[in-house]
Structure 1
Amino acid sequence: MNIKRKELLVTSFGLFSLFFGAGNLLIPPLLGYKAGNDWFLIALGFIITAVIIPILGILAHARLQGTLFDFGKKVSPTFSLIYCIIIYVIAVAIPSPRTAAATHEIAVFPAFDTSPLLTSAIYFSLVLVFVLNRSKILNLIGKFLTPFIVIMLLVVISIAMFSSEFNTGISQFETPIVTGILEGYQTFDAIGAVVVGAVIIVSLNFDNMAIEAYESKRKLIRKSGLIAGLGLFIIYAGLIAVGAYYSSEITVNGELSNDMQRANLLRAISISSLGKFGNTVLSILISLACFTTAIGIVAGTADYFKGLLNDSKMVYVITAILACVLGVGVGQLDFNSIIVVAVPVLLLIYPITIVLILLNVLPQKLASSLVFRVVVIITFLFSIPDVVGFISPSEALKSITSYIPFANYSLGWVLPAVISFFAISFIQNNKSFKK
């Protein structure tokens, strides 16, 4: 079955928009601003965890064509069940409410001076309307919302680049690539890949997309994933470059929290490039980017629990309502508070998610059940010091982690995971050869 250009574009735009939320728009410019002449190195690190890993997650979904449960079932069904529940609870408790908080602080409050409760209530009411109209999500987002977001982003970046004097400052980072990698965690894109990828799979099962055959669906998801990834790459690199080139023209108050620095910088860039109209453009961008991401998260969570409990439509509706109510509650916190709460959670769950994505992309003969189990367990064990070190740092812990390569950068799990993968693969291949 041939893939129609319209289906490819709608799916690509829908996928891009489900990824692109508040963090994706706010984080890159400040990174570039602080990186100065090292902005390209920051961009390289950021793209690893904010583009490459997430798109590999979509490619894994294209192969599995199931749910998030399929990502971890080779470790064990029990592990996969627990992992899925944790991921979806995290998704509706942190990144989803964070989109409402960002929309309120940047787009709504400066213009209307309303309470976060009112903003969150209206915001998640609209999210719920879209989610309950499940079969229309991909078309509505892919045909209308995302093209508008992409066009506005490209206009802002292009005008800002041409308006800049192309002067960069001195980098504030000792290890720009590592900083970029870790900042990529805050986009939640790897977690987003395994959550919204399932949304795409389910959406393609509806009649309006007319996609049924496994190979046709796999081809469509793979191509749309690569197109969405290219779009993310261009937008991220552009935003980081703009932040770097405006570092000599815009002063950001270092005493402010990171989220306010990000918002103020992006607002200043928008106004410098588009005049007073720039503030309106930024508000619309933030609102739409946040809104589409929240839709993807809530729909993905509702889809999972619906499938878990006998494909019950009632479960889908109840889950969506509960996720939106939780979003209203947590959305009362400010953007920075939600990020602080998220850090230890990300340090634990993100490495496991990255490993599961990579293993599911590999050919099956290289990623046996034993490889899955050992690599995931090793990754989990070596991620614990990062979490403990963030929550309660101590000299005793530092003395232990000093022997673990990259542990100082919260990447102590990387080398043990790689070594365990090759070690188990070598042992298994050696046994097969002897037979």
Structure 2
Amino acid sequence: MLVTLGFALSAVVIPILAIYGHARLQGTILNFANKVSSVFALIYAVLVYAISISLPSPRTASVTYEMAIQPYFEISSLWVSTIYFALVLVFALNRTKILSLIGKFLTPLIVLILMCIICIGLFTDVEPIRASIFDNSFTDGILEGYQTFDAIGGVVVGAVIVVSLALQGKFNYEEKKAMIARAGFIAGLGLLIIYGGLIALGALYSGTVLIENRTQLLTLLSTNTLGNIGTAFLGILVALACFTTAVGIVTGTADFVKGLTKSSQKAYTITAVLGCIIGVAVGHYGVAYIIAAAVPALMFIYPITIVLILLNILPKKYSTPLVFRVVTITTLIFSIPDFLQFFVPEGSLDAVRSFIPLSKQSMGWVLPAFIAFIALNIFKLIKRDY
């Protein structure tokens, strides 16, 4: 239960708040961090897109290989990722509405199949549930939620929604705010149902299934509930969904670079090509490997992202530019040990981390950031009264 709550907090609630933040702000990803400073906003945006094109994008190829190719064909993952990103590049350089149309049909189908897996699986008699493998259920659930990249997705997608509505030119501020907030709530509710159901299903089968690989586990659960045909159909749908996601990440990153270079089409093309080369290089590794490789990057970017999201949804009187700067810098400083632990000899940071509350749970930034926020606002109230 605590794992689910922690996971839902970082993978559902925070992304919904990111969308709501954009509903209030109605700007770009640069505006989301601009109160810290324009330079910081640019660096943050570059890091977000760099991480997105280096980890989640290649992971879509790896998921496609493990769910839709490997179970049925003897072919190298390198060949699959090469063909996969060659097609991604074709679609990125030749934009079409086909993928958008496919996406409209894919999402309901995938949700329907996942709901079938969850419902059938939950009403199946299985062995008793094993004890949780997590030492700190709530915080470990939060950290597992990082791997969805949904908070980062909320920041990026929220900006895309704002731009899309602005281009239509027929909605005022309040109408756009209501539409964006409603879209975020509906998406979040869907995520909560799917994530919660899959977590419950995984826990239910923990007594009979001893698999930790995520794609293998989902494949096994779908086979147990829907049979081989259902599993094959799910694999095809997931592959298509992954492909549209990869195209979206590559084109989104290329659009961002194009915007920084005075609408240079050459910059767009170079970025798209580099993104696909990175996709091939990283995407032929297994999903488990990419997930493990993503942890250090997530430990660095996620705390900052969460803080920016929370500050952007607060009333302006509590989130002044000074509050943005101090709280964000505090978060950055106290998340460094959580990030560095993956690059230094084991135990070498124990002395430092022992003085920081929650640092052993890789969340040492939480209390310092909260204290900085409270202290600044109390100081502002005292200063105003005198």
Whether contact under 8 Å (1:196, 1:296) holds in the other structure is: no
Superposition RMSD in Å? 2.2
Q: Extract unaligned runs of 5+ from structure 2.
A: none
Aligned equivalents of 2:306, 2:96: Cα separation in 1 = 29
- What's the offset of the Cα at 1:304? 1.8
Whether contact under 8 Å (2:251, 2:272) holds in the other structure is: yes
- Name the counterpart of 1:359: 311
Aligned equivalents of 2:173, 2:92: Cα separation in 1 = 25
Aligned equivalents of 1:429, 1:206: Cα separation in 2 = 41
- Name the counterpart of 1:204: 165
Equivalenced residue count is 386
1:187 matches 2:148: yes
Deviations 1:24-52 (A, max 9, x none): xxxxxxxxxxxxxxxx2211110011001
Aligned equivalents of 1:101, 1:377: Cα separation in 2 = 35
Whether contact under 8 Å (1:135, 1:206) holds in the other structure is: no
- What's the offset of the Cα at 1:387? 1.5
Deviations 1:168-215 (A, max 9, x none): 2222223211110111111111112112222323333455xx754332
Specify whether residues 137 and 352 from structure 1 end up closer, same or farther in structure 2 by C-alpha distance, changes over 3 A only: farther
- What's the offset of the Cα at 1:344? 1.1
Aligned equivalents of 1:136, 1:219: Cα separation in 2 = 26
Match of 1:218 among 177, 180, 201: 177
1:403 matches 2:362: no
Deviations 1:384-416 (A, max 9, x none): 111222222454521221121111100000000
Deviations 1:295-324 (A, max 9, x none): 332232123222222244554444333322
Aligned equivalents of 1:400, 1:268: Cα separation in 2 = 43
- Name the counterpart of 1:239: 198
- What's the offset of the Cα at 1:132? 4.8
1:152 matches 2:152: no
1:432 matches 2:384: yes
Counterparts of 1:25-64 in structure 2 under 5 Å?
40-64=1-25
Aligned equivalents of 1:129, 1:294: Cα separation in 2 = 12
1:110 matches 2:71: yes
- What's the offset of the Cα at 1:133? 6.0
SS in 1 for 2:72: helix
Aligned equivalents of 1:385, 1:137: Cα separation in 2 = 45
TM-score (norm 2): 0.92
Aligned equivalents of 1:414, 1:217: Cα separation in 2 = 32
Whether contact under 8 Å (1:48, 1:181) holds in the other structure is: yes
Whether contact under 8 Å (1:125, 1:324) holds in the other structure is: yes
Percentage of pairs with the same residue: 53
1:374 matches 2:335: no
Bigger drift between 164-173 and 274-283 goes to 164-173
Match of 2:186 among 213, 222, 227: 227
1:169 matches 2:113: no
- Name the counterpart of 1:12: none
- Name the counterpart of 1:32: none
Counterparts of 1:191-340 in structure 2 under 5 Å?
191-207=152-168, 211-252=170-211, 258=212, 261-340=213-292
> What residue identity is the alignment partner of 1:235?
I
Q: Extract unaligned runs of 5+ from structure 1.
A: 1-39, 253-257
Counterparts of 1:131-150 in structure 2 under 5 Å?
131-132=92-93, 136=97, 139-140=100-101, 143-150=104-111
